[in-house]
Each structure stands twice: as C-alpha cells, then as structure tokens.
Structure 1
Amino acid sequence: MRTFNTNYNYPFLSGGGELGELIRTYDWSTSPLGTPDQWPTSLRTLVNMMLTSRFPMLIFWGPELITFYNDAFRPSLGDNGKHPSSLGQRGEQSWAESWPVIGPMIYTIMAGGDAVWFEDQKLPLYRDGQMGYAYWTYSFSPLIGDTDSVNGVLVTCSETTKAVESLQQLNETNAELKQSLEQNIALREEQHASQQQTKESEAKFRTLVEQAPIAACLFIGRELRIEIANQIMLRFWGKDASILGLPLEKALPELKSQPFLKILDDVFTSGTTYEACDTRVELMVDNHLGAYYFDLTYKPLYDADGNVYAIMAMAIDVTKPVQSRITLEENEARLQELSMDLERQVQERTQQLENSVQELKRSNENLQQFAYIASHDLQEPLRKVQQFGDLLKNQYIDTLGDGAIYLERMQSAASRMSTLIRDLLSYSRISTRQDHTTLVSLQQVVTMVLVDLELRIQETGALVEVEGLPEIYGDQAQLEQLFMNLINNALKFHKPKTRPVVTIRVQTLPSVKLPASIKLARPTLAYHRIDIADNGIGFDEKYLNRIFQVFQRLHGKSEFAGTGIGLAICEKVVFNHGGAITARSKSGQGATFSVYLPV
C-alpha cells in the first residue's frame, strides 16, 4: 500500500500563517483540483497573492467552486463553525446558508458576467455553533485562468456587522435627538415673542445641544456666528470654547476653499434643510490639515415673523467606515490590475511555449533528416567497403602478403564506423520519437533483455539476480534499450578471471527523500529507484558527469569495444520518462547505476 506525504513543499504555498499551513497539509489528491503540482499557473499566483495579503480574501476555483481563504478572512468565520472545514470544500457546501443569495451571482460571473459590488449587505452565517446574521461589504470578481476563460471568482470583503449595528443604534439615537431638538425648536419659535420665555427656552436648548450624544452647534445670522457648540463638535473641529461668538469663516478658515459656507448661506436664504451622507471635510486638527467624513444636517430656525434667524448643524463621524470602503475599492482596483497583468503574463508565456514548440519541431525535423542520412547515405559506402574487403580477403588473400594486415584493419575500422552510425541513429530516434506510452512491465522487459544477452551471459559465466520489478507507464522499446545498455555494460566491464555478478533491485521513495543532486524532468510525488549493481572494474566518480555524454569513453578501444553512446541513450530514455539516472562507484570495486522513474 502506497503512502504519500501531503505536506506539499512548493514556493508559492510558503508563508500565509495558519491558512498557509492548512493549505500545505491538506490532502489535495482527493480534490477535483488535484495536487498543487497539477494546479494551473494562474491558480498558483492567485493563492500566493491571497496568502500574502493582509486584506480579507476568498477564492472560489473551478467548476466545483473549491474554497480558499486567508488569515485576514479567518476571524469572520468565528469558532465552532465553518473553519477549517470550508477549506477545499465546494462553494455551495461551505456557504450553504448564504448560497440562495450569493450562488446565482457567482454562477453568473462564472458564465462570463460582470463583477458585482454590495455594501453592508445582510447575509445568514453559521458560526460560533449557531445560525445568525452578519453584514458584509464585498465584491465578486471573475478570475481568468490559463485558458483565457473565467475559472473562478475572487471575493474581497470586509465584515461591517459592528459598524452597521453601531450606525443603526446611532441613527436611532440621532432620530430621537432630532425629534427632541425639533420639539424644542418648535417650542423656541413659539416662545420667541416672550423675552422671559425665550431665555428659558434658550437655556434648555443650550443644555440639550451641549449634552447631545452627537456633534451639534448653532449658527446665528448670515455671518454664521457660533452661538453654541458642544464638546463633540469642538473636538471634530480641533478647537476649544474660545471660538464661541466668532463667525464660522474666521473660526475655521480652512472652510473658505470648501463648499460648506455657501451651502449654509443657501440654507439661510431658502429655509430648506440640507442633508448629506459620507461628505468629505478638510479640517485643521492639531496643526494638521486632514480629511474626515461626516453625515451632515443643516436645519434652519425661524423667528416669530417666519424669518430664518439661525441654523442648527449636526454631524455624525463616519470617517472609519468610509475609509474602509475606499480602501476596499482601491484593493479591488489593484486586484483587477493584477488580474489583467496575470492574463498578460499567461498570454506571453503561451506565446513563448508556442515558439519553443516550433523550434522543437524544426530540431526534430533536422534530427529525422540526419537519421535518414545515417541509415542510408552513410551506411551504403561502408557496406561497399566491407563487401569489397571480403572479396579481396576471399580471392586474393594468398597474394596480399603483408597487405592482409592492412585489409584486416580496414574492415575493422569500417565495422566500428558502421556500429557508431547505428548507435548515433538510435540516439537520434530516441530524441525525436513520438510518445507511445502504455503500461509496461519492467519485469518482462528485463526478462526479454536477458534472453537477448543469453550468449554473452554463458560466455562470461555471469550470475544475474533480478528482484520483482514494477509496472510503469512508458515506451516499451525505449525501456528495452535502457536495460539492454545497462546490463550489457555490467557484463562487458567485468574483472578478468572473475565471475560477473549483476543484481537488479527496486525501492519506492517519496520525492522528498531523493538526493539533492538529482535533477528531475517532471517532478511528482514518488519514484521507483532501480539499482543495477555489478562487481566489475568500476570507475572514478570524478568522471560521473562525463560518462553520460555522447562519445565519452573511459577506456581505450583495444580494452573494451563500444562507441561511447550507450549511456547517453540511457540518460535520454530516462529523461523522456520524467526521471533521472546517476551512478556511484570506485575504481576496481564495481559500479551501481540508479534509475529513478515516476510511480
């Protein structure tokens, strides 16, 4: 039974706090997305961006809308609720209670619809062991995958439950205060004719304004002289009671370049109440001009003759929620920019890959042309040389004298040249061969190779021991060349007067336990390591990189036959199968060649 380490070690999953660790340890092999090495480039980039962001973010990916979220989003899920079970779940499962509301919008975006935005929307939410409601300011945006189509939805959000509930409570208080103020204003207007009654009303009105839970003040006359201002309003202005009695323009000179003095003058002229929400006001507070946001109300007050003589001003500070919304909008714009940049990078990379494919096709065509020349045009002259050499040897051997030696050397050189061309042809065919992947039994492959080498084994008296080998997906013809070259070398490079012993064993290893020096063509989770060990002459490991190069030999032709291409073919076959090959040895102490093939 195979076991795999699900602690994925990928740079794009590094960091990210609690959720980064949960994503790395999650068993993605059971998910429709597959393991992280199978994820598309766009998903890897988005997950990395999400994990490193301090803004609450959630991703729904793929047709199943698989859920990802980051540490900034985590507090909104509470305890004993969705976390951590939501990670890796389908969207309609992880957000079942809210899906009737958000599901149709997400499906519309996945089908190519536009992004959506909602502010302070009330949604059902299961957290802290019970069903409840929460308010959210959020946006849903389409995510473009590697195939230039919508592959997911990005959720950027901010939970505004506390702010909304506080604002609702404040609005209720404000409404009560407004009602109370309006009642007192009416009373003040009715009693304006009587001096004594007016003084009493003004005293009550002043007390009401000063003790109001929201910022309030009273402007008298067109010059907008500050008659009353409570501590909340003075704090908003960054001033103290010394400004009482001053015209507003003189008390707050920074308002000259802003529209509020004109708005107040219009209220005084028209007698119409002015109300505005989320209004930006620049105020000089602690010698610093800063931007603040308020909900404003300017209400005209009338005397006994029905003329406006004052304006009651009230303000509610909404700076924090407005700034949060602005930040969210800026982040949304930035994320859209990143999404466009990601799409551009994907297009550029796709074009690069297409160019590389065309270059590879041209290279393969050149190699195929060489293979044709090697198999026909180069071999034909050699066959003529060998045939005429045989004629000279058979018919004129008695008259050649010492020339027979040169004839022998000529035929030997021609034979070596023919072998070299065949080996080069084999190497080029492996480089250009199309993929013919099937399920291959390595045990059967080695058995067939040993049958082909039966004569050599009998001549050397060799002992070959083979452990049960696995089945893998690959090209059977190439794998036969691989084991033919490795076993043939083990038999060829044996010690004189010593019986060759060749052992072939297999071991399955997770990728994290592979030597650091191994460079894999296509990394995967686990590999079969097949060791072909012999008791031959061995070699000095300083030549390890050299032995896998074309035409590289460590011994002279007089010692051991060969062209120096066999191990280069082995390396190419292993590379084509997504694996790697290496060796370890000491001179005179045998050699072990280790082949790593994906499980």
Structure 2
Amino acid sequence: MGYTDAKHIKELATLFDDIHALIAILKGKDHVLQYGNKLYFKSINQSESNIGLPIIEIIPELKEQGIIEILDTVFQTGTPYKIDQFRIELNIDGTGVLTEMYFSLAYNPIRNNEGIITGIFVHAVDITELVKAKLNAEQSREDLNNLILNAPVATAIYSGKEMIVELANDKMIALWGKDKNVTGKRLQEVLPELEDQPFFRLLDEVYETGITYHANEQKAILEVNNKLQPFWFNLSYKPMYDKNGKVYGILNMALDVTYQVEAKQKLAQAEEKLRSAIEVANLGTWEFDIKTGAIKLNKTLLDWRGIDQSQVITVENILENAFDEDEVLHQIHKALQPEANGIINVEYDIINLKTKEHRRLHSQGKTFYNEQNEPVLMAGITQDVTLQRLTEKELADKVAQKTADVANANNDLRQLNANLEQFVYVASHDLQEPLRKINIFSDMLLNSKAEISDEGKIYIEKIEKAAKRMSLLINDLLEFSRVSSKERIFVPTDLNKIINDIKVDYELLIKQKNATLDFANLPQIDAIPLQMNQLFYNLIGNALKFTKDDTASVIKITCNILNKEEVAALKLNSLYTYCSIKVIDNGIGFDQKYAAQIFEIFQRLHGKQEYAGTGIGLALAKKIADNHGGAISASSQPNNGATFNVILPINRKIFVEA
C-alpha cells in the first residue's frame, strides 16, 4: 500500500471525507501527518495547515499517554494495533484544559512496493459519548445498589420473570430469616413457604402488567429459626424498566409492622373485653364533648333514662329527669376548673322519662385536655346503685335493731352479773355459816358423853364428810367466779418463784407420795400472779392426786419458746411472744378421747370415792389460760401418765423470733 503521492492523497480525500471515522496517514518514523480527513481535523481541533508536521508537534498532549509508543512499535514491527476502547485526554478547545475522550483505535502499517514500512494508517472512532453513557449507567447502577443496601427499610430487586434475587439488603435478608447466599437464587427457592400465599402471583401480575402493587398490613407466614411465624408488612412491588421501556425486574420494599398490628389486635381484644365486662356488669358509659356540649350514652344509660337513641343529648336533657340537678352541675363545673384534678364523682336520683321508674345512679369520670391544657372531653361510667342503697338502708335498720337488742342484752347481762355477785356473796357468807355449824355440832356430838350407837356414829361421820365436800365445792365455785370477775392487771411474774411456793405448799403430800418435782429456767411473764398460782397449783395437785400406787411419782415442768409458724398454727396473737410450759407426770393417765372434756366444769373421769375433788380445778386452769390470751391442752394414754401443755404470752408488746 503506497498511499504517499499527491494523486493518491487526493483520491483518499475524496474517499474518506464522508466516513464517520477519524482517518489519518502518518509518514516515516517521526509520524509526520501526511493526510487527515475532515472529521480527524475537527475532532482534534486542528487544520490542514498542520500537514507535514510530526503528530507530537500537532498534538503535544499525546506525550506520556502511550500513543507515540504504540505508533513506534507498529512502525518498527509492522504489527497492526487495535483496541476497542482507548482513553485519551485532548486539548480540543485550545484552552489548555484537557478533555477526556474515548476512541476505538486501529493502527495499520503502510508499506511501499518493496514491502518496506513507510508510514501508519490511522482509523479511529470517537466513542466518548457511548463510553460516558455506559459509565454513567454503571455509576447509576452502583448508586442504586448502594441506595438499596443502605435503605432504612427491607429492600430487594428481583430480575426476570423467574424472580431471581439480584440484590437484597441486610434488613430484607434478616426479615426472611436467611443469609447472604440468597443472591442469584429464585425467590421461590429462597422462600418456599410462600408457595400457597398470594405473593408469587402478585409478583407475576406486576411483571406482566407493569402496575405497581401496594399493601398495608399484609399478612405473611415466614419460616424463621425453623419455625413458621406470622408477620405483617406494609409492602410495595414496583416494576423496573429497561431502556426500551420493557419490565426487566421488580423493586420490593417492605416495612415490618408486626408489632403495631399485634398491638392493635391486643387493643381491639382489650376493648372487646372491656365492652363485654361493661355489659356483664350492667354499667352505663358516657362521653361529654365540652366544646360542642354533645353527650353520648350507651344503650344501658339510654334505657335507664328513657331516652331514644336518635335523640341529640345535651347537659340540659340529662338534667331534665335528675332530682339533684344543682349537685350534678356543681360537680361538672368543679371538675372543669384548672386547679381541680379533672375527676368527677357524683351520686344522684333520676326518674325514667317513659316508665317513671326511680333509680339511684353513681357516676365517675375523668376530664381530658388538649395540648393547650384546655378541657375537651369528659368520659366515664355510671352504675345503678338503687338496690345497693336500699340494701344498705335495710341493713342499717337491722344493725340499729340489733344494736338495740345488744344493748338490752347487755343490760340483762349486767343484771345477771349483779345477781351472780349476790349469789357469790350468799355462797361465801350465808351458806358457809350453816356448814360450819354442822361440822362443829357433829364434832361436839361425837365427842360428847352421850351414848351413840356405832351405826349412829357412822351417820354422823357421813354428815360431817358431806358438809366438808359442800364447803369445798362452795370455795371452788367462789374461786371459779372470781377468775372472771377480778380486774385483769398484768405484772412481771417469775414462774420459778410460783412453782417453788407451790412446792412448799405440797411438801407433806410430796413426801407421802414419794414424789419428785423437777423444773428449771422458767421465764418471767406478764401475768396475774394469783391466777398463775391457782393455775399451776391445780395442775401439780392433779399430778400428785392421780399417781400409781406401786410407782414413785415424777413430775417434770419444761418450757420452750414458740416460733412464728407455731403461733400462727395455734391462731394466737402474732404480736406476742409465747412460751409453751408442759407439766408431765407418770401417773394413771386417761383415754385421749376425754382430753377436751376434762376442762369442763364438774366433769370427772373418776368417782369421788376413788379420788377427792369437785371437778372444777381443770376448768379453773382453762379459764386462767384464756384470761391471759393463751391456751391449755392435754395428751395422755391410760396407765401411761399425762402431759398438760399451757401456752402463755411472755410479753404483750412485739413478737420476738425464737
């Protein structure tokens, strides 16, 4: 190819000037411009006057951009050079500012008839706009991807009719309960649990029709952590178009509103339960719009008042059938005052406008305020308390009657106590005197010189014994009555001293019975000393009385402090500290079935011929224990001794843990 003479150059100009490509011929190793078509000179902003100059002088900015080196290589080796996209910076506007341009280049060697390389044929196509458009598209795509990946809501792109997951941000992946391996997979493969749900069908419709789909609180069942769970979403399926206006994919955005939906469901359930409770409780509900003056009543209140549901209700209507109009108005105005707490609580009487039935109503409500702290609404409930108030009145009447009856009974009891005190006086004075005379005259008769037969002496002895038993019975009855009537003054009482004094009193009987009385470390308690003496005197005397003939009597007295659980089990006063004092003997005992009976007055388990006594001692002991806020019990088996357990408060101030 020897396009170097003038004739050929002219032919080239005719041929290449209309070609939409940059054509040039460079001559020699210095790459002197021999020819350039019109587009060539236009693109590099040069003129044909530069023909004959080396290309590096015409376009000096090509230095260090690799072009000269490529030309040198093609000229020296004869190997053509071709590249689809080559970036060059050119001073196309003559200002010295380089403009980025892209060309599709082809450099082919030119040879003479002898095959010697004489120049280079340049063919270049300006693809700057195409490349920049492509770069812009790629940048836009990258920006879109970044936007999706950083979107504040779950977002994904599905491409093609098969809905391939092209891109999904972390929020969408987490919402699915999957990992990042979902990219490149079909959505049906990623979420097979959606197969029987409407979502795949909706995606197909959006893909086919190009119509965006929006939904609020759309329910979906997703498998998360290997468990199918219900979720609710606000979601959209938006079609994505290519440059030809054809749908190529779908943009899916979803906002998880499960918490809000479940909260609404719970609120609806709570409201339904409240409505049911109001209906079951037969309560009236009301609302008072303070701005308009309109009042809303539920059916219950409308029925109570005899008002039609279609009627517009105002405060005036409400007060129309109220007996306590002034009080109701006063309470409403009071609740609306700025210094008030907004609470209304009023009870009033009404009469049904239709049936004329009388009712007593109790209304309670609260005032609600706007942002300017102005009252805008008052709402509350109303209860029909008619029956309750009637019942309370009847009960009050009955209580008054019972109170009068109790007062009369107290008067009778005081009279009875006065009679009892009179009897005690008679028993302690008037009856004792004849008994003493019977004893004296019996002794005088037995000791007189009168001749009395043996049979007569026996009768006189029986009279004397009967008189002594009668005297003992009177004394015991007197003591029993005094336990109830004496003033209760509790003072610190040393039980050790009490037992020691009783031991001295029973000294002779203890020797006769060959008995042993053991006790130690008994507490000091708040008590009535005389009654404590009576209590333990009877218990120890009981133990000395019911001994075995062939066994030495042993009496033990022990004590321990009760803990809180024991006090509670015995139903005692939890403010006191209690001790348990046990009097234990090894005597004849008794059957446990009589354990409660022995504390009743005049109850004896043995005949008076076998064992002396009146049957009052243990009853007296129980009454003393009761007087002190304590208790007494017994446990035994025949011929196996008996244990009497006395529970007494140590103090009357505060409980101390044992």
Q: Could you tell me the TM-score, scaled by structure 2's length?
A: 0.41
Instruction: Decide which structure has the larger Cα Rg and report it.
Output: 2
| TM-score, structure 1 normalization | 0.44
Higher relative contact order (CA 8 A, sep 6+): 1
